[in-house]
Amino acid sequence: MSDPARLTVDGRELRVARPEKVLFPAAGITKLDLARYYLRVAPLMLPHLRGRPVSMERYPDGIEQEGFVQKEVPAHFPGWIDRVTAPRKAGGETTYAVVERAATLVYLADQACITPHVWTSRTPRLANPDRLIFDLDPPPAAPVARVRAAARTVARALVRVGLAPHVLATGKRGFHVVAAIEPDSDFDTVRALAHDLAERLARRHPDDFTVAQRRASRGERVYIDVARNGYAQTAVPPYAVRATPRATVAVPLRPSELGQRRMRPDRFDIGNVWRRLARVGDVWAQIEARPATLDDVRRRLARAG
Partner DNA sequence: GTATGCC
Partner DNA sequence: GGCATACCTTGGTCT
Partner DNA sequence: AGACCA
* CA separation, residue 179 to residues 87, 158, 282, 297 (Å): 26, 8, 16, 11
Q: Is 266 near Mn ion (CB under 5 A)?
A: no
Stretch that binds DNA, among 46-54, 66-74, 143-151, 257-265 (CB under 7 A): 66-74
**In Å, how far from its chain's centre is CA 32?**
22
Shortest Cβ distance from residue 173 to Mn ion (Å)? 8
When binding is defined by CB under 7 A, the residue of 11, 76, 141, 207 that contacts DNA is 76
CA distance 251 to 170: 7
17 binds, among DNA, Mn ion, none (CB under 5 to 8 A by kind): DNA
279 binds, among Mn ion, DNA, none (CB under 5 to 8 A by kind): none
Asked whether 16 and 31 are in contact (CB, 8 A), the reply is: yes
When binding is defined by CB under 5 A, the residue of 171, 174, 237, 238 that contacts Mn ion is 174
**Helical packing angle, 102-110 and 31-45, nearest 10°:** 160
Indicate the residue type of 127: A
CA distance 289 to 292: 10
| Binding residues among 131-160 for DNA as defined by CB under 7 A | 135, 137
When binding is defined by CB under 7 A, the residue of 8, 85, 213, 260 that contacts DNA is 213
When binding is defined by CB under 7 A, the residue of 12, 40, 94, 208 that contacts DNA is 94
CA–CA–CA angle 109, 268, 41 (5° rounding): 40
Q: Is 257 near DNA (CB under 7 A)?
A: no
Q: Is 36 near DNA (CB under 7 A)?
A: no
Shortest Cβ distance from residue 7 to Mn ion (Å)? 28
CA distance 37 to 31: 10
111 binds, among Mn ion, DNA, none (CB under 5 to 8 A by kind): DNA
| Binding residues among 125-144 for Mn ion as defined by CB under 5 A | 135, 137
Q: Name every residue whose Cβ is closer than 8 Å to that of residue 216 and which is 6 or more positions away in sequence.
A: none
Closest to DNA by CB, 123 or 300: 123
CA distance 120 to 130: 6
Closest to Mn ion by CB, 104 or 170: 170
Q: Is 101 near DNA (CB under 7 A)?
A: no
> Nearest CA to 106 among 5, 16, 221?
16
Asked whether 145 and 264 are in contact (CB, 8 A), the reply is: no
User: What does the binding site for DNA look like in residue numbers (CB under 7 A)?
Assistant: 1, 17-18, 21, 31, 55, 58, 60-61, 68-72, 74, 76, 88-90, 94, 110-112, 117, 135, 137, 174, 187-188, 191, 195, 212-216, 223, 225, 227-228, 230-236
